[in-house]
Structure 1
Amino acid sequence: MDHPLEAYVDIETTGLSPHGSDITVIGFYLCSGMETRSVQLVGKDITRTEVLATMEGVDTIYTYNGHRFDLPFIDHHLGINLEEMHEHC
């Protein structure tokens, strides 16, 4: 039986507003059943292409306060709307 692929996502930024601040780190903890892996994108590695490649096949995203912070930053800076896949922790 295949397990869903889940991603726990957290970002670090230079400030609190996506309009005047940058993303400095995006961390992903990916798990499917007993298989896990961690991915950290830092600095110039934080691109739309890299985030989409990391998120390929992900069924559900979990964050802490992501709806109000992480996801708006990702959408603003990378043009990726992850709301449909998001569950708040």
Structure 2
Amino acid sequence: MRAYLDIETTYSGTISVIGIYRHDRGTIQLVSSGIYDITLYNALEGISTIVTFNGSSFDLPTIKRQLNADLKAAFDHRDLLHECRRRGLRGGLKGVEDRLGITRASTGLSGRDAPRLWARYEQYGDYTALRTLLTYNRDDVVNLAVLEAHLDALPTPTANPAWKVIIE
């Protein structure tokens, strides 16, 4: 069983959202005070492989540093960034998606927008900014599954999987 994982961070580098997509449970998002090693491991229960895009350099080391959760030791890991590079697909996740015709609800946003959206939510209680950030993160994790399907010629996941946000 696979989990597709992506994190968003604040301007200071603190994790604001951990998004996880699983074919069996849909999207799970751990947000701010809901981000603990225990909630993360619970969300990953039954998983054997974590799939990321540049997770080897960013997501997994950041999680290890901030949560003391060594996902590389606990799970197999597949970083699609390196597979895309080997196939001549350059650019970030959004660039690869564009080249392959993978669409997203959060078109026009990039990773640079994530800290700004989080700051608007945290400083002003702007729930529209939070919803936008969560939609952006959801697109990232669901599209990792779609990208993997493209790379491996696997069936594409369902278009509207379940969605659960954990804020404690």
- Taking structure 2 as the reference length, what is the TM-score of the superposition? 0.44
Which has the higher Rg, Structure 1 or Structure 2?
2
| Identity of matched residues, % | 40
Structure 1 consecutive aligned stretches of length 4 or more whose deviation exceeds 4 Å: none
Q: Kindly report the root-mean-square deviation, in angstroms, between the aligned alpha carbons of the 2 structures.
A: 1.3
Q: CA deviation digits over 1:35-82, x for unaligned, max 9?
A: 341100101000111001001110100000000000001000111111
The aligned counterpart of 2:17 is 25
The structure carrying a bigger helix percent of its residues is: 2
SS of the residue corresponding to residue 24 of structure 1 reads strand
Equivalent residue for 1:81, pick from 70, 84, 97: 70
Normalising by structure 1, we get a TM-score of: 0.81
Residue number in structure 1 paired with 2:2: 6
Aligned residue type for 2:38: T
Q: Which structure 1 residue ranges, 5 or more long, are not aligned? A: none
Aligned residues between the structures:
78
**Please, which runs of 5 or more residues in structure 2 have no aligned partner?**
81-168
